Amino acid sequence: MEQTKKESLLERYWRLRGEADELYQRRMREINQRINEEMRKPVQRELDALEDAIERGELAEVLHHKLILEVLLGQQSSSPKSASDSVL
């Protein structure tokens, strides 16, 4: 009897643990989706501003908006640095 009770408690634990994990994953997906939706507008604004700065040929403004976009998107520049990019 004691062995059966322990097994049923373990089974219940694993079932509840699985349900808790599913709930956590579902909530994280919802949070990530909300973040993505909320970030869409600022990213779109910066893309528009970057495009305008490129069309006007304003290098400082281009670099400014490029940096903001890298921060918003959480990305580092993946292109290799050239000698002209380094600061002496």
Domain boundaries, the chain: 2-74
- Please tell me the predicted confidence (pLDDT) of residue 32: 87
For residue 43, give Cα distances in angstroms to 1, 34, 66.
62, 14, 11
pTM (2 d.p.): 0.51
pLDDT for position 6:
76
Residue 5 reports pLDDT greater than 50: yes
Q: Which residues of 31-47 are buried (b: 16+ CB within 10 A; e: fewer)?
A: eeeeeeeeeeeeeeebe
Statement: residue 21 has pLDDT above 50? yes
Residue 1 banded pLDDT, cuts 50, 70, 90: low
Q: Which two tokens stand for residue 11?
A: 């089974």
In this structure, the number of other CB atoms found within 10 A of the CB of residue 75 comes to 9
Summarised one tens digit per residue, pLDDT across range 25-78 is: 999 999 989 888 888 899 999 999 999 999 999 999 999 999 999 998 885 444
